[in-house]
Amino acid sequence: MIIRAATDRLLFITQPDHAALAAAIMAYWRLGGLPHHPRRDTILAATRLHDDGWREEDAELHVNERGEPLDFIAVPAAVKHRIWPRATERLAATSPYLAALVAQHALTVHAPLRQNPEWQRFFTTMERMRDALLGRCTTEEASALQDDYPFLRTGDQLSLIFCNGWTAPLSGVGYRAILNGITLEITPDPFDGRRVPLKVPARSIPQQTYASAADLRGALADAAVLQLEGEAFGT
């Protein structure tokens, strides 16, 4: 779950909704040959589904010992350890290559923790799963993973900036982005002059402590749904 503070309220955005926005952004992306890429549809599908393993966690929710809701960054390591194998196994039935892209994403986003003993089994598991999936792919797909994956990573990063309201500049593979208010500015222009609409649903609840995850679930179930809207454009 993405949790964004807004005055005295908290805005909750599910990981799958964030991922759907990531794919919507990349559908407009023109850099790197994506418009005519032979695996464009699979890359966009992997971007849209990369957080599918969070569905169960977003439904159950998590709070700490003080009753504060925990977002996708603050949840315990054990939660992160289980969501990626779950997503990879689920997506493998759709497409081994799609699932391999998601496994690569798991390895990439957690790479800073590679030397942490608590994470060793995670990396071993995800590498084994990724390699097994690549073994089921065509030779062309298996050899293209490292070139194709940055598209997924780009969509994820840009959507996270908008959903979280992060204002610090971020540099990715071949681009630089910054959020000004509700406008995501990206350099160089990846959209050929188009202004890309950004829209993601969020639930708003009071910024307070909650007695339990069940208490938090109840508050969210009764919460109003609003749409966070903005736009992205190139500079």
Sketch the domain layout of the chain as residue ranges: 2-234
Distance CA 178, CA 145 (A): 28
pLDDT per residue over 115-153, tens digit each? 999 999 999 999 999 999 999 999 999 999 999 999 999
pLDDT, average across residues 168-193? 95
* Residues 165, 170, 173, 176, CA torsion sign: positive
* C-alpha–C-alpha distance, residues 18 and 70, integer Å: 16
Is pLDDT at 7 greater than 90 in this prediction?
Answer: no
Nearest to 53 by CA among 2, 89, 93: 89
pLDDT band with cut points at 50, 70 and 90 for residue 172: confident
Residue 48 carries which side chain, given as an amino acid letter? R
Task: Say which DSSP state 93 is in.
Answer: T
pLDDT of residue 189: 97
Encoding tokens for residue 87?
A: 């997503």
Q: Kindly give, in sequence order, each residue whose CB lies less than 8 Å from that of residue 131, ignoring residues fewer than 6 positions away.
A: none
Q: What are the residues facing 138 on neighbouring strands?
A: none
Say whether pLDDT at 49 is over 90.
Answer: yes
pLDDT at residue 173 is higher than 90: no
Segment 63-73, tens digit of pLDDT:
999 999 999 99
**Sheet of 196-206, strands arranged across:** 2-6, 9-13, 196-206, 224-234, 183-187, 175-180, 170-172
pLDDT digits 0-9 by tens, 75-128? 999 999 999 999 999 999 999 999 999 999 999 999 999 999 999 999 999 999
What is the pTM assigned to this prediction? 0.96
- Amino acid identity of residue 186, one-letter, is I
Mean pLDDT score, 147-171: 96
Q: How sure is the predictor about 13, in pLDDT bands with cuts at 50, 70 and 90?
A: very high
Q: What percentage of residues in the chain have a pLDDT greater than 90?
A: 96
* CA atoms of 81 and 165, how far apart (whole Å): 26
Average confidence score pLDDT of the chain:
97
16-32 confidence digits (pLDDT tens): 999 999 999 999 999 99
Report DSSP letters for 144-201, one per residue. Answer: HHHHHHHHHHHHHHHHHHHHHT--S-EEETTEEEEEETTEEEEES-SSTTPPEEEEEE
- Please state the rounded mean pLDDT for residues 175-181: 96
Helices assigned H by DSSP within 50-138: 55-60, 77-92, 96-109, 120-134
Q: What is the mean pLDDT of residues 189-205?
A: 97
Residue 228: in which H helix or E strand, if any?
strand 224-234
Check if the beta carbon of residue 5 is closer than 8 Å to that of residue 205: no
